[in-house]
Amino acid sequence: MSATRNDATAPARVAPTPPARPAAPVAASAPFGLDQAETCVQMISPAGVFQPNAAAEEFLPYLDRLTEADHRRFYRDMVVVRKFDTEAANLQRQGQLALWVPSHGQEAAQVGSAYATKPQDHVFPSYREHVVGMIRGLDVVDILRMLRGVTLGGWVPEEHGNFHLYTLVLASQTLHATGYAMGMQLDGATATGDPETDQAVIVYYGDGASSQGDANEALVFAASYQAPQVFFLQNNQWAISVPVARQSRTPLYKRAGGFGMPGTQVDGNDVLASYAVTAKSLDDARAGRGPSLIEALTYRIGAHTTADDPTKYRDSDELAYWVARDPILRFRNYLQGLGIDAQFLKDVDEEAADFAADTRRRALDIIGPEQSVIFDNVYAEPHPLMAEQKAWLERYEASFDEGAS
């Protein structure tokens, strides 16, 4: 047998192996180096003290838009969604959901960015942004319907706060969001100078998805057409079992510069910083100043999904580091520092428990769908195969009924 050119047993013709370079550290920065990063916008310290760093300075004016009632809403939503998240994971463990995708740990990045949107904006989530949907007016039971296997999507975006469907193929939605933002431009619905009507798009994706071609093509298209779009990248440090250092040797926000748009890194466990940075980016997008990228540094405290076991690949010190920087605890400490009444905090806990219990009841009541959903919406216009196969299935199944009678 003759050796082919790609036969591993063929004699090597390459030069001797050069001396190996010393192995680079796995993480581009200190593995949990969030607090030390001077470039990372932070308003509230991990201990809960309002201490804006230098990077936060230009974003401070955006905090003036927030009232005390907003602060209470931020806290309330973070607590409620965490309780909901825990309940949904329980439902999965009890066989009531096929899968659950936890958001535990990412509440501040999601709540802060969601409150920076305006009603006329459009939101393209990935699949973990439960509280963003809630804030935009989606009933979270609609999310459970999908994960219970009753729908493939479950809601019409325009009827639910312009919150688009979850997308399960990584980064596909970044391009849909860019196209939608291009459409806003073509419609003349943005950059008119009226911030109350000008529209923008925010798209959520993650550190894992940032490696996908589509995420990069979306950045190219958005920059090329100067689309009114904010790329909100939640860097939760892990793409299932693969650490962010395997996705990128450079901090992800720095990639924005290569595409010709501003990039900002924000402490994603700081709800005020997440709000302020997103508010500025969305303002810029609505005003015609083009797209931008936000990298929110956060951490997936739980598993990727209920099918995952993070103890197999993550070290407990890392988890402990992030648990100590919990976004809810941080904001609670901040509010307590401002003298928030204890009754409010107690009420929120009760409301969260009620919300979770109510969600559980309603999840168990989910019914359907009719088998006709197999065929009914594949095409908008009549299609012979749909008509034939739907009729055949009905006849086939009816034949058993006839036999029984």
Partner 1 sequence: MTTATDTSVTSASLPMTKALNAGLRQALLDDPKVILMGEDIGPLGGVFRVTEGLIAEFGDKRVLDTPLAESGIIGTAIGLAMRGFRPVCEIQFDGFVFPGFDQITSQLARMRNRHEGGILMPVVIRIPYGGHIGSVEHHQESPEAYFAHTPGLRVVSPSNPHDAYWMMQEAIKSDDPVIFFEPKSRYWPKGEVRFAESGTPLHSSRVVRAGTDVTVVGHGAMVSVLLQAAELAAAEGISLEVIDLRSISPIDYGPLLHSVQQTGRLIVAQEAPGFVSVGSEIAATVAERAFYTLHAPVLRVSGFDTPFPPAAVETHFLPSPDRVLEAVDRALAY
Which two three-digit tokens encode residue 389?
A: 């196969």
Q: Which of 309, 315, 376, 394 binds partner 1 (CB under 8 A)?
A: 376
CB-nearer residue toward partner 1: 50 or 379: 379
Task: Give the per-residue contact string, 356-375, with partner 1 (x = CB under 8 A; - = no).
Answer: -----------------x--
Which two three-digit tokens encode residue 25?
A: 């550290």
CA neighbours within 13 Å on the CB side: how many for 214? Answer: 17
**Closest CB 255 distance from partner 1, rounded Å:** 16
- SS3 call for 7: coil
180 part of the interface to partner 1, by CB under 8 A: yes
CB-nearer residue toward partner 1: 95 or 382: 382
* Site residue total, partner 1 (CB under 8 A): 43
**Closest CB 121 distance from partner 1, rounded Å:** 13
169 part of the interface to partner 1, by CB under 8 A: yes
165 part of the interface to partner 1, by CB under 8 A: yes
CB-nearer residue toward partner 1: 169 or 240: 169
CB-nearer residue toward partner 1: 219 or 301: 219
How many contiguous H segments (helices) and E segments (strands) does the chain have? 15, 8
Please list the residues that pair with 22 across neighbouring strands.
none
CB-nearer residue toward partner 1: 122 or 360: 122
75 included as an active-site residue? no
Q: Which of 1, 342, 380, 404 binds partner 1 (CB under 8 A)?
A: 380
Which two three-digit tokens encode residue 221?
A: 């298209």
Which two three-digit tokens encode residue 17?
A: 């192996």
Select from 11-19, 74-82, 105-113, 172-180 the region that touches partner 1 (CB under 8 A): 172-180
**Closest CB 249 distance from partner 1, rounded Å:** 23
260 part of the interface to partner 1, by CB under 8 A: no
CB-nearer residue toward partner 1: 27 or 186: 186
The rounded distance, in Å, linking the Cα atoms of 391 and 370 is: 14
Select from 86-94, 128-136, 160-168, 325-333 the region that touches partner 1 (CB under 8 A): 160-168
The rounded distance, in Å, linking the Cα atoms of 83 and 356 is: 6
The rounded distance, in Å, linking the Cα atoms of 359 and 139 is: 10
CB-nearer residue toward partner 1: 321 or 375: 375
Task: Give the per-residue contact string, 191-220, with partner 1 (x = CB under 8 A; - = no).
Answer: ----------------------xx--xx-x
Catalytic residue among 164, 300, 325, 332: 300
**Closest CB 186 distance from partner 1, rounded Å:** 6
93 included as an active-site residue? no
176 included as an active-site residue? no
Q: Which of 338, 357, 385, 398 binds partner 1 (CB under 8 A)?
A: 385
> What are the CA-CA distances from residue 331 to residues 16, 114, 255, 265 (Å)?
58, 16, 30, 19
Which residues would be at the binding site for partner 1 (CB under 8 A)?
151-157, 159, 164-165, 167, 169, 172, 174-184, 186-187, 213-214, 217-218, 220-221, 224, 373, 376-381, 383-385
The catalytic residue positions are 300, 304, 313
